Amino acid sequence: MALPETDICIVGSGASGGVLARELSLQGLSVVVLEVGPWLDRSRIPTDSAQWELLTQQYFYADDSAEQLRRDRVTYTASSDPSFNLSRVKAAGGATMHYEGFCARPHPGDLRRKSQTGLAVDWPLSFEELVPHYDRVEAMLGVSGRLDNPFEPPRAPYPNPAIEMSCAVKRVKKGCDALGLHAAHAPMAILSRATNNRAPCNFCGGCWSGCFMGAISNMAQTYLPAAQKTGAEIRTGAMATRVVVTKNGKRAAGVEYFDADNNLQFQPAKIVALCGNAVETPRLLLMSARSDHPDGLANSSGLVGRYFSCHTIASANGFFNERIDAYKGPNINGMVQDYYDHDDKRDFAGGYVIALRNAEGGPLRFYKKYAAPKNLFGSDLVAFVDNQFGRSASISAYGEHFATEADRITLDPQEKDTYGLPIPQLNINLHANEHAMLRHMKKTVFDILEAAGARDIGEALAPGFLGTHLMGTCRMGTDPSTSVTDPYGKCHDIDNLYIADGSIFPTSTAGNPTITIQALATRVAQRIGETRRR
């Protein structure tokens, strides 16, 4: 059965797809969003249960755990460092359904790394061009923050007051103060006061497991319901298999997909927008190859899948003599940006941000992280947990990754997913600059904990990649030979095919990418609307 043509078909309902759906339906366009995952029922979020740590996986993979996990698989090429896992959620709202909500804007220099360092490329737009889009997104999300970060570019006040620093973050802040570092309130996409029938943060500490209170401004709490109210259809159980183009190969005709009953369908559309992520979007373009696009769609430059980037991470944890209860509060509600902006005096290019955390988890995570490695049993185990639970704290530093062409996403030549489609294969490595930055990051987080009075300080994670911040692979630019899209996300090769997710980042920047993905998607939606009205 032929489906009616829609003005725009969006693949993916996460940070960028949700924004596009709302912004374009608000402009009066007919919108269909294809999302492979289901709607997650907020009432089933397990953080109000005594066994919430055991129930988390059942919440995210409620329908068919094995199948959902399989759909998320990737493989690594032999030359990669496969010491990290990609963290993705297949659901309406995408990865925002378990994100921590840390949403500090980048700084102007993030978009000018080539000019500053000679490495990478400059973005084809300025930070100032994105400011009104950041403002619009933050208002929609109800971002909570305070203007106490001396390194942040001048800006308007945040929509909501900052979430107060927890006991643990205040304790770690003393270490920052002693070292002359500037610990500030972290801007968070988490409500500090009730808004639109959503409750403020209750400091349960379960952000990564979803927000039972509805305080986290994920797509399912914000943009997707707003999009539905203005006519957008969110079609779940829809796995995109390829973008179909017209006979002349110049325009997208729509998207082919498997529906919830595993039937192959075709959604015709006047415009197609890809909003998966920096892994799934190049995968779909590569799977869409045909005789006149033998290397995949939008790939005349050969750069689809290339310059794949994640942030790097260095984390430390330690114990305090007094209880600080770092399992209470938003997973992040403090930050340090003293090393964020590039400085020629350092032995690495770019910079990093430090997150002060409340993500220690409950007793089960404490046992797995701290007690199990000690092989404690019986009364020794009980005494250790009784004496030490609530006294640990962790902090993390996220750094830039300067990707090369060799850092890329390809299609696995053998492995298939449950739909019979090739799964994505990753090839990504740390380079000399990342190693130098990671050494600095590790020393800084250790120094902070030591200055704060912590003992038994150690690595919380081996320094390496953070698999939640996915960027690059379809970079934007003005030259079709060195980029996949133009500065507004329109593919150079296909007139009506847009990309609005983290794929179009030319460089990784030093900060969490979600708020910038959303600002860019707002900008893309504005351009699509302008184009449609001409």
Q: Are 499 and 474 in contact (CB under 8 A)?
A: yes
Counting residues of the chain whose pLDDT is more than 70, the rounded percentage is 97
In the block, residue with structure tokens 């995968």: 283
Distance CA 161, CA 331 (A): 17
Q: Compute the C-alpha angle 300/305/308, nearest 5°.
A: 135
Whether the per-residue pLDDT at 163 is higher than 70: the answer is: yes
Whether the per-residue pLDDT at 286 is higher than 50: the answer is: yes
Distance CA 72, CA 145 (A): 33
Whether the per-residue pLDDT at 69 is higher than 70: the answer is: no
Mean pLDDT of 325-338: 95
Confidence of residue 196 (pLDDT cuts 50, 70, 90): confident
Confidence of residue 282 (pLDDT cuts 50, 70, 90): very high
Distance CA 91, CA 39 (A): 6
Whether the per-residue pLDDT at 1 is higher than 90: the answer is: no
pLDDT of res. 65: 43
Q: 315: exposed, middle or buried (C-beta count within 10 Å: 0-12, 13-18, 19+)? A: buried
Distance CA 478, CA 471 (A): 19
Mean pLDDT of 57-86: 66
- 442: Cα separation from own chain's centroid: 22
Q: Are 251 and 293 in contact (CB under 8 A)?
A: no
Q: What is the pLDDT of residues 80-126, one digit of tens each?
A: 877 778 877 888 999 999 889 999 999 999 999 999 999 999 999 99
Q: What is the pLDDT of residues 464-484, one digit of tens each?
A: 999 889 999 999 999 999 999
Q: What is the pLDDT of residues 334-363, one digit of tens each?
A: 999 999 999 999 999 999 999 999 989 888
pLDDT of res. 224: 98
Q: Are 186 and 355 in contact (CB under 8 A)?
A: yes
Q: What is the pLDDT of residues 421-431, one digit of tens each?
A: 999 999 999 99
Distance CA 247, CA 276 (A): 25
Whether the per-residue pLDDT at 61 is higher than 60: the answer is: no
Specify the pTM.
0.96
Q: Whose CA is closest to 276, among 239, 314, 251?
A: 239
Through-space distance between the first and last CA atoms of the chain, rounded to whole angstroms: 32
The least confident of 218-232, 284-298, 415-429 is 415-429
3-class SS of residue 423: strand
Confidence of residue 57 (pLDDT cuts 50, 70, 90): low
Q: Whose CA is closest to 123, among 531, 498, 501, 485?
A: 485
pLDDT of res. 456: 96
Q: What is the pLDDT of residues 210-230, one digit of tens each?
A: 888 899 999 999 999 999 999
Give the CA distances from residue 87 to residues 10, 123, 444, in Å, rounded to whole numbers and listed in that order.
Answer: 22, 26, 26
Confidence of residue 2 (pLDDT cuts 50, 70, 90): confident
Confidence of residue 66 (pLDDT cuts 50, 70, 90): very low
Q: What is the CA radius of gyration of the chain?
A: 22
Q: Are 450 and 393 in contact (CB under 8 A)?
A: no
The domains of the chain, with CATH numbers, are: 6-37+89-149+156-533 (3.50.50.60)
Whether the per-residue pLDDT at 509 is higher than 50: the answer is: yes
> How many other C-beta atoms can be found within 10 angstroms of the C-beta atom of residue 266?
15
In the block, residue with structure tokens 């500053």: 116
Q: Whose CA is closest to 148, among 336, 349, 367, 1?
A: 336
Q: Which amino acid is at 30?
A: S
pLDDT of res. 60: 60
Distance CA 383, CA 361 (A): 19
Q: Which amino acid is at 370?
A: Y
Confidence of residue 398 (pLDDT cuts 50, 70, 90): very high
3-class SS of residue 311: strand
Can you name the residues that pair with 309 across neighbouring β-strands? 471
b or e along 415-443 (b: 16 or more beta carbons within 10 Å of the residue's beta carbon)? eebbeebbbbbbbbebeebbeebbebbbe
Mean pLDDT of 322-335: 95
> How many other C-beta atoms can be found within 10 angstroms of the C-beta atom of residue 251?
15
Q: Are 94 and 17 in contact (CB under 8 A)?
A: yes
Q: Are 501 and 276 in contact (CB under 8 A)?
A: yes
Take residue 137 and report the two structure tokens written for it.
């997104």
3-class SS of residue 59: helix
3-class SS of residue 232: coil
Can you name the residues that pair with 266 across neighbouring β-strands? 256
Mean pLDDT, the chain, integer: 93
Confidence of residue 62 (pLDDT cuts 50, 70, 90): low
Whether the per-residue pLDDT at 291 is higher than 80: the answer is: yes
Take residue 154 and report the two structure tokens written for it.
């001048």
Take residue 470 and report the two structure tokens written for it.
């996915």
pLDDT of res. 171: 97
pLDDT of res. 71: 52
Q: What sign results for the dihedral spanned by CA atoms 344, 346, 350, 356?
A: negative
Q: What is the pLDDT of residues 302-314, one digit of tens each?
A: 999 999 999 999 9
Give the CA distances from residue 242 to residues 11, 245, 271, in Å, rounded to whole numbers and listed in that order.
Answer: 10, 9, 14
Q: Compute the C-alpha angle 65/67/69, nearest 5°.
A: 65
Whether the per-residue pLDDT at 372 is higher than 90: the answer is: yes
